[in-house]
Amino acid sequence: MTASKDEPMTATVSMMEAGGRKLRVAHWRLGEKSDHPPVLFFNGIGANIEAVAPLAERLTERGFIMFDMPGTGNSPEPTWPYNPFTMSWTASRILEQLGVKQVDVMGVSWGGAMAQHFALQHPRRTRRLVLVATTAGMLMVPGNPAALSKMTDPRRYIDAKFMNEHFATLYGGMTKDPSGKSKHIGRLKPPTPRGYVYQLLAMLGWTSLPALPFIGKETLVMMGDDDQIVPLINGKILAGMIPNATLEVFEGGGHLFLLTHADESVASLRKFLDAPATDAEERRAA
């Protein structure tokens, strides 16, 4: 199994039955001794495991878990719609099967909304929370209309020429690492039409805004200041309403700053996730 021709993916990958669904699940280093809980990662809309594999490969000191949503990557097409509640429950069943009790939860874009919901629905399984280039759901400040119109067009996954032509409009922030475009495109596998539509529908009407003050977890909000899809103001809203949140802004970062600003992103993640437990975390652990 490879992420691309030049990037071997060292994950253990298998099909798992969870929550009445069959899903393709990848995990890294779960069998290795670590002082850190694994990361449970929720991907962006339509994105397959390989799209974020480079991040998982770099966090060598901890486990990493993610799965392809129904109809995405190599997960079978969904037979019925789903929502954040059912997929958070499904994710918890996957953790049970893997023997993982607690995780640091992380999500990017669409997956950032899933990460928020998982932390609210499964607080005992969640240690810390990382929200990347994401929003509070339907009550968001919209991005560049040109980017949003192309974001909802599945051709960005199916048609390589379309993706290449509109990449800068879609994602922004590519001046730091122009080669990141071809690398990212090479890792993508198109979702099925039904899988893509169901993923769009899953968040219809969903917002975390009223619940944000009740996220009792240390939270890192990571945003790019050149994100054409999720403007920075959305991260400021999240960080302002989550009690224990810190906002970190990546200068020149677009929607894919996790990949284009990989060194800075990994350093930020490690600093946050490895920080000593707060008094509140110590009390909860006791």
pLDDT(136) > 60: yes
Confidence band of 283 (pLDDT split at 50, 70, 90): confident
Q: Residue 260 has what pLDDT?
A: 83
Mean pLDDT of 89-117: 97
What does DSSP assign to residue 18?
E
Q: Residue 6 has what pLDDT?
A: 42
Q: Residue 2 has what pLDDT?
A: 38
pLDDT(220) > 60: yes
Lowest mean pLDDT among 4-8, 68-72, 129-133, 257-261: 4-8
Q: Residue 144 has what pLDDT?
A: 65
* Distant-in-sequence, close-in-space partners of 74: CB < 8 Å, separation ≥ 6: 15, 24, 48, 68, 189
State the number of CA atoms in the 13 A half-sphere of 72 facing the CB. 25
Q: Residue 92 has what pLDDT?
A: 98
pLDDT tens for residues 149-174?
555 555 555 555 555 554 555 555 55
Compute the distance between CA of residue 129 and CA of residue 268 in angstroms, rounded to an integer.
13
Lowest mean pLDDT among 103-107, 151-155, 202-206, 250-254: 151-155
* Distant-in-sequence, close-in-space partners of 203: CB < 8 Å, separation ≥ 6: 84, 110, 113, 137, 138
Compute the distance between CA of residue 132 and CA of residue 224 in angstroms, rounded to an integer.
9
Q: Residue 179 has what pLDDT?
A: 52
Report the predicted TM-score, pTM, of the whole model to 2 decimal places. Answer: 0.87
Q: Which amino acids are annotated catalytic?
A: 109
Mean pLDDT of 27-42: 96
Mean pLDDT of all residues belonging to the chain: 87
Tokens coding 189: 């596998």
